[in-house]
Amino acid sequence: MNRQEADQRIVFEDVSKFYGEVLGVNRVNLSIPAGITSLVGPNGSGKTTLLNLMTGLIRPTRGRITVLGISPDEPERLFRKVGYCTQFDSFPKGLTGYQFIYSYLRLFGLEHRAADRLTGQAIERVNLAEAAHRRIAGYSKGMRQRIKLAQTLCHQPSALVLDEPLNGLDPLIRAETIALFRSLAQEGLTVIISSHVLHEVDAISDQVVLLSNGYVVAEGQIHGVREEIHEQPMQILIRCNKPGDLASLVFQQDSVVEARIHPEGHSLLVKTRDADRFYLLLNRLAQGGINIESVAPADDDVLSVYEYLIGTEEPTK
């Protein structure tokens, strides 16, 4: 990777972090591009440790980290480009939502007018305008989460690091927040999200990093990660008019290990060790009188990949 590429990515080179003798993360090598990347793993897998390492709140025991070309040891440069929404649910005492964001922006050296304008924009963006001048101590969990998001966004950073950002949000705000993350990623921002809610991760991520016990188990686009799991046959769901006929045909293929007709009678679930060959076969079968309505991978999602790789330590589905 050349210097210019590294300046646009978040790069971990052989990073380990130990808390005394307790392992935080071990030998992590990652190169995270722009777009939405989710860190997924059970509690204690090292998600927050990775986020704290990339923002300099903790230091690696070994290895090197750069965030958009900047070392986390230089907060004065790093946080002009990065916003971090931590899991800490605590705030400087006595501040209103407005004061919290405004004070943070004044720490950038901004003058009153600029800080005031950016504060207003950030608070609007998370729909907290009505509560802006109330003390944070009186906010609900969801409102506190949103004011932290406003703080993360207020200085218009190039990278967002979000530790469980959807915690405590009601379904409507959750949907709006996910839409906000998507729009930010489309604007070219690097968005790192740690989450244990797999269906949300599945819905928003361009790529995932799966963690277990401090190790990166897999990383990349979810489809690619799934394809790398050779020991688990790919599951493909086919809707067609003759699932019984199709089942007898596909069983003749060596790579097919299981074919099951769905109880409602219009679909066939096939497990195959060679998905590419199977798709080619389906093209031929479609020309032979079986009317195939749709074909879709059935286990090419974060939940399935998580279960295959991490197994029983299940986070929230």
Partner 1 sequence: MSTGRLPWALWRAQILAILRLEMKKTFVHRLWIYLLAFAPVLLYAFHSFVQLKNGRQGDLGEDTHIFAAVFQFFFLRLAIFFGCVGIFMNLFRGEVVDKSLHFYFLAPLRREVLVVGKFLSGLLAAVLIFGASTLLQFAAIYWYFSSNTVQEYLFHGHGVEHLAAYLGVTLLACVGYGSVFLAAGLLFRNPLIPTVVVLVWEAVNGFLPEVLQKISVIFYLKSLCPVGIPAAAIGLGRGNPLALIAVNPAPASPATAILGLLVLSVVVLALSSVRVRRMQIDYGAD
Among positions 122-161, residues that touch partner 1 (CB under 8 A) are 151
- Measured CA to CA, the distance from residue 123 to residue 98 in angstroms comes to 8
Q: Which of 11, 34, 68, 78 is in the footprint of partner 1 by CB under 8 A?
A: 78
Looking only at the bridges linking them, the beta strands covering 292-297 and 190-195 are unpaired
Are 225 and 241 contacting, i.e. CB atoms less than 8 angstroms apart? no
- Measured CA to CA, the distance from residue 282 to residue 28 in angstroms comes to 40
| 212 is a site residue for partner 1 (CB under 8 A) | no
Q: Which of 14, 33, 92, 224 is in the footprint of partner 1 by CB under 8 A?
A: 92
For 142-179, letters b (16+ CB in 10 Å) and e give: bbbbbbbbbbbbbbebbbbbbbbbbbbbeeebbeebbe
Q: Least distance to partner 1 from the beta carbon of 74, Å?
A: 9
- Measured CA to CA, the distance from residue 215 to residue 222 in angstroms comes to 18
Helix (H) or strand (E) segment spanning residue 19: strand 10-19
Among positions 17-36, residues that touch partner 1 (CB under 8 A) are 19
Pair of tokens at residue 264: 């409602």
Identify which range of 56-64, 175-183, 186-194, 234-242 contacts partner 1 by CB under 8 A: 56-64
Q: Least distance to partner 1 from the beta carbon of 156, Å?
A: 13
| 59 is a site residue for partner 1 (CB under 8 A) | yes
Q: Which of 90, 287, 291, 316 is in the footprint of partner 1 by CB under 8 A?
A: 90
Pair of tokens at residue 200: 């949300």
Q: Which of 16, 103, 121, 255 is in the footprint of partner 1 by CB under 8 A?
A: 103
Q: Which of 5, 108, 117, 296 is in the footprint of partner 1 by CB under 8 A?
A: 108
| 56 is a site residue for partner 1 (CB under 8 A) | yes
Q: Which residues bind partner 1 (CB under 8 A)?
A: 19, 52, 55-59, 75-80, 84, 86, 88, 90-94, 103-104, 106-111, 151
